[in-house]
Amino acid sequence: MNTLICQSCGWPFTTATAATNRDRSVNTDYCRDCYQDGAFTDKSLSLHQLEVKLLEMAEVHEDISLEEAQQLIKKLPELKRWRLENI
């Protein structure tokens, strides 16, 4: 399977865990945790809130280290959802 990068949270995902558009077609820009049925699952989420969430996850989960979270945070502004032209 092809690994994609969610353009909201920055996590890798596959087409099996891809988002859906309103018409139920697959949206490979986002993972299903961030985007479902043509809308963001947390519409009020800010970039800062996502950064805090990632750091908290690094403290609790073994899946991501603090260093990995910090590297991911640096890349967030480059992602489609967070680019200045989209805000």
* Residue 77: C-alpha distances to residues 23, 45, 48 (Å): 28, 14, 11
Expressed as residue numbers, the domain containing 50 is: 4-86
| Terminal CA-CA length for the chain | 32
pLDDT at 85: 67
Question: How do residues 54-77 score in pLDDT, each as one tens digit?
Answer: 999 889 988 889 999 999 999 999
Q: CB–CB of 40/34 below 8 Å?
A: yes
Q: Say yes or no to pLDDT of 14 above 70.
A: yes
Q: CB–CB of 42/51 below 8 Å?
A: no
Q: Say yes or no to pLDDT of 87 above 60.
A: no
How many domains are contained in the chain? Answer: 1
Question: How do residues 28-63 score in pLDDT, each as one tens digit?
Answer: 999 999 999 999 999 999 999 999 999 998 899 888
